[in-house]
Structure formats: C-alpha cells, structure tokens
Amino acid sequence: EIVLTQSPGTLSLSPGERATLSCRASQSVSGSFLAWYQQKPGQAPRLLIYGASRRATGIPDRFSGSGSGRDFTLTISRLEPEDFAVYYCQQYGSSLYTFGQGTKLEIK
Amino acid sequence: QVQLQESGPGLVRPSETLSLTCTVSGDSMNSSTFSWGWIRQPPGKGLEWIGNIFYGGNTQYNPSLKSRVSISVDMSKNQFSLRLSSVTAADTAVYYCTRLVMVLAARFDFWGQGTLVPVSS
C-alpha cells in the first residue's frame, strides 16, 4: 500500500499570501493518479487538481499542482478567505486508492 | 450537472449490516467512462476509499474491508448500493457516494453530500 504523508499538518497564513502544501508518497506514484481535494466543514470534498497538475472544471487559476515520482505540491498563489479549509492528496496504485491525512489551512 | 444523493438508515446496530443507496441524477450511469463507488470519513478523521463498481459490473474493494463489502448497481433506477456486514463502532462514519472518472487521469469528480451512519446499540 502506498502511504501519502502531507505536510505541514496545519498551515497558518493570511489572505493574500501564498500557500504551499506538500504530499509525499512512500513509493513512486504515476502523475496520472495524483489528485488534490478541498474540504470545508460539513461539506463533501471538492476536486481541485487531477493528473498532478490539471485543474478541475471551475477551479480558479490561483490553484496549481506540480510534482512527480514521490513528491507533489499544491500551491495557492494568493489566498482568498474561502480557501481556508482542509486539503487532501489522493493516489491510485496497486489496486487501491489512498488519501493523505490532510493539511488544515487556517487563517493567521 | 451530475448530482449524487445518499440514502439509508440513520443508525445501525453492532454486528448488523449497513446498507446505503446512492441515486444519480443529471446523467446516465451507463457509460464505460465512469465508475461508481463509496468513500467514508470517521468523525474528525481522514478519508478512506471503500470500493467501486465498474461498467460491466466488475468491482474493486479496499483490501482492509473486502471480506465485508459489496457494491451493486441498478441501471434501471440510476442507483448503486453499498452493503457492509458485521459492523462495529469503528465503522461509524460519514459515507459519501462518488463518481470516478476513468479517462485521462483517474479522479473522484462528483460526490454526494454524505450521510452520517452511527453504529451503536
């Protein structure tokens, strides 16, 4: 099983700042199978990025994804108030979909 | 716009079987482009993939749950269902039904709102 480790666990930033979230895999992951989701309290997760770097429909261009192999990054270029939430990375490998434990992005 | 809606009992007793149904609206389920499945989230915790059913009826389950899980589909009603047997308190979670896109790059693009299923006597 491929384990995804997200860092930091909590990120405290102010609106307008740049956020960089990390997702590291225990084994190499095909970029085609790496996705990022945003979850707000009481809501279902929302797909942001798939294929490591492709934005999902309707996602603002301040969200971008990058990386390959074992290391992937989600970047939010200029934080808006609605971006403060929990973010999960997710991969598919060895017939199993797994998620990272999440990074909470909170207002500083 | 595709919409998914979970339905099922609000409480399940330990050792019994949890049964949930997801109704899909806004599109037909009958396409090889998509797979349909379930993901759960214990209160205050992260996400756990349960399993998916693919076009043609093939299924894929999380090995940690495989012995207790069954996912089925009813194309005539645009619904798919989850059964999880021999539940314990550890199965208490919000259960989400999801659509998995299979082309270009696999991703869960649509989710239901989720339904909390407590397991308690």
**Distances from the Cα of A72 to the Cα of A1, A37, B79, angstroms:** 18, 13, 35
Omega cis (within 30) before A41: no
Report residue B102's pLDDT band, with 50, 70 and 90 as the boundaries: confident
At A85, the amino acid letter reads: A
- Tens digits of residue pLDDT in A21-76: 999 999 999 877 999 999 999 999 999 999 999 999 999 999 999 999 999 999 99
B112 CB near a chain A CB, below 8 Å? yes
Report residue A94's pLDDT band, with 50, 70 and 90 as the boundaries: confident
Cβ contact A35–B112 (<8 Å): no
Nearest residue on chain B to A43, judged by CA atoms? Answer: B113
B2 CB near a chain A CB, below 8 Å? no
Nearest C-alpha of chain B: how many angstroms from A44?
Answer: 5
